[in-house]
């Protein structure tokens, strides 16, 4: 499938049929997400992969009872770092040094650039981290479509309650957005046969030649 075919095929699935995604496909979607770019390469978020039915039912209750949550095969929770800290920056710099086999000294300037972010408030850095998480969400959406796995990006949930349900704050995380992954229910999903609506390209793209 070409990427354009995949993006035309996908839609924000309202009803799923409960069928499980083969492990290899889920792994491939997670691999793609792990390759998403982020500012400085910091990946200031974690992604929870929830397949536990009891947890999914409790999540549905705080997500406006949206059925995809329990009809999905897995729901990913993109959770941003609650704050940027020296420890988190240090851990990343150590990783770069190890993976690229370079000295910590050679990374001083890069570390300084990242540490500049510490001048911002925790709340601004949380917003910044959440933006990075949304890029990973986008990559996940496209990867799922290429694997012919349906998905729904979802912001319609109570963030505070979800953080409490999974003790995310104790891990230094705040939930940003969900991605339900599964297979469309052709009979019960009113959106299956509806035309995709997008602004015209003339309206969307402003060309400067």
Nearer to ligand FMN, 66 or 129 (CB): 66
Min CB(101)–ligand FMN separation in Å = 38
In the list 91, 98, 156, 164, the residue contacting ligand FMN (rule: CB under 6 A) is 156
Binding window for ligand FMN (CB under 6 A); candidates: 22-30, 31-39, 94-102, 153-161:
153-161
In the list 88, 153, 158, 172, the residue contacting ligand FMN (rule: CB under 6 A) is 153
Three-state SS at 141: helix
Q: Which residues contact 204 (CB under 8 A, 6 or more apart)?
A: 198
Does 67 engage in binding with ligand FMN (CB under 6 A)? Answer: no
Angstrom distance (rounded) from CA 123 to CA 138: 23
* b/e burial code for range 81-101 (CB count within 10 A of at least 16 → b): bbbbeeebbeebbeebeeeee
**φ and ψ at 75, to 5 degrees?**
-120, 125
Chain residue at closest Cβ approach to ligand FMN: 156
Is residue 15 within 8 Å of 71, Cβ to Cβ? yes
In the list 130, 152, 175, 182, the residue contacting ligand FMN (rule: CB under 6 A) is 152
Does 86 engage in binding with ligand FMN (CB under 6 A)? Answer: no
Terminal Cα distance for the chain, rounded: 32
Min CB(153)–ligand FMN separation in Å = 4
- Which single residue is written with the structure tokens 């957005």? 177
Does 60 engage in binding with ligand FMN (CB under 6 A)? Answer: no
Does 154 engage in binding with ligand FMN (CB under 6 A)? Answer: yes
Does 72 engage in binding with ligand FMN (CB under 6 A)? Answer: no
Does 66 engage in binding with ligand FMN (CB under 6 A)? Answer: yes
Is residue 50 within 8 Å of 59, Cβ to Cβ? yes
The first and second tokens of residue 130, run together, are 């959440």
Does 14 engage in binding with ligand FMN (CB under 6 A)? Answer: yes
Nearer to ligand FMN, 73 or 152 (CB): 152
Question: Which region, left, alpha or beta, applies to residue 133 given φ > 0 means left and ψ of -120 to 50 means alpha?
Answer: alpha
For ligand FMN, the binding residues (CB under 6 A) are: 11-12, 14, 66, 152-156, 177, 196
């Amino acid at each position: 499938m070409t990427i354009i075919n995949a993006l035309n095929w996908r839609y924000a699935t309202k009803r799923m049929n409960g069928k499980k995604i083969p492990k290899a496909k889920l792994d491939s979607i997670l691999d793609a997400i792990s390759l998403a770019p982020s500012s400085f390469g910091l990946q200031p978020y974690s992604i929870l992969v929830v397949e536990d039915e009891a947890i999914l039912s409790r999540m549905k209750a705080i997500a406006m009872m949206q059925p995809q949550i329990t009809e999905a095969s897995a729901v990913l929770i993109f959770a941003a770092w609650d704050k940027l800290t020296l420890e988190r920056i240090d851990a990343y710099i150590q990783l770069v040094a190890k993976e690229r086999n370079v000295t910590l000294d050679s990374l001083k300037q890069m570390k300084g650039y990242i540490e500049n972010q510490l001048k911002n408030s925790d709340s601004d850095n949380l917003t910044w981290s959440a933006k990075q998480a949304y890029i990973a969400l986008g990559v996940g959406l496209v990867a799922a479509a290429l694997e012919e796995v349906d998905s729904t990006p979802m912001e319609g949930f109570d963030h505070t309650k979800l953080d409490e349900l999974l003790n995310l704050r104790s891990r230094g995380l705040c939930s940003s957005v969900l991605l339900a992954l599964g297979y469309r229910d052709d009979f019960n999903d009113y959106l299956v046969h509806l035309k995709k609506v997008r602004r015209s390209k003339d309206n969307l793209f402003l060309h400067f030649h």
